[in-house]
Amino acid sequence: MKSEQPVFQGVATALVTPLTEEGVDYNRFADLIEWQVSKGVDALVAVGTTGEGSTLTDEEHREAIRFCVEQVRGRVPVIAGTGSNDTAYAKELTDWSCRVGADAMLLVTPYYNKATQQGLVASFRAIADVSTKPCILYNVPSRTGCNLLPATAAQLADHPRIVGVKEACGNISQITELAALAGDKLDIYSGNDDQILPILSLGGQGVISVLSNILPVETGDICRRFFAGDVKGARELQLRYLPLIQALFCEVNPIPVKAAMAAMGFCDNYLRLPLTPMEPEHEQKLLSFMRQAGLDV
């Protein structure tokens, strides 16, 4: 049920998780968090898709969320990635994240085993029932094989702790239908960096962003300009960074952004299998676009 105050308005960075062969590099994770906060992001997402939550151990997953909460110290909301294709595990992780002080939960649709629409309703309600914090649903059917339909999201909006949807279905027509059915009940966030402006124009509250790992100020400026009434300026930024956005997704996320962040010194270019480092020719193109955006890499 949409509250008067959204969890955040503007840009939330879907943080990478700095990793080495030994585990999470918490010194670099702290540096990344501090840099992001200093650049004025509106929220941070800990251990989502970009944070490689799928290959962190349960202990690492929990500790990374706890660490992020403690490092941020209430300066911006921390949204914990607690969704799973195992509803019982998602409930457990959500309850734990609430208790360590996360400000909101990000709940992805079940992957691999998937679900019917009624299964999604039952699962998300069960997770939200144990949460003491707001929950943002995450629809990314290209990764999960499971599409949260607008009518289903509207049905879920009746739950007092389900307050928003991160939409990464890529289908503007579907997102338009979501806005028509539930835009007065749910805060809609873009889950795709190339669709920030279109979703803002439908009443969206902002973006949960991969791009803002490397360009936090500029990504936030797309939202800030739009909310200030400068639609033309917001459009110019959206289009200016489109080649860089495309390069960040030329291989499966978070492979490219991990390479980008390594080039900026925030982490090693280390991913856990089945993910592998970016192909050299793709990496060179990515670095070229980063230089064009003014980054010293």
Dist CA 167 CA 170 (whole Å): 8
| Residue 164 φ then ψ, to 5° | -160, 170
Q: Exactly one of 2, 91, 166, 258 is catalytic; which is it?
A: 166
Which H helix or E strand runs over 36?
A: helix 26-38
> Do residues 250 and 288 touch, judged by C-beta distance below 8 A?
no
Dist CA 141 CA 267 (whole Å): 29
Q: Exactly one of 133, 138, 258, 285 is catalytic; which is it?
A: 138
Alpha helix positions (H), 241-279: 242-248, 255-263
Residue 170's nearest CA partner among 191, 146, 149, 143 is: 191
Active site residue 138: yes
Which H helix or E strand runs over 269?
A: none
Active site residue 114: no
Helix (H, G, I), strand (E, B) or coil at 266: coil
What residues are annotated to the active site? 138, 166
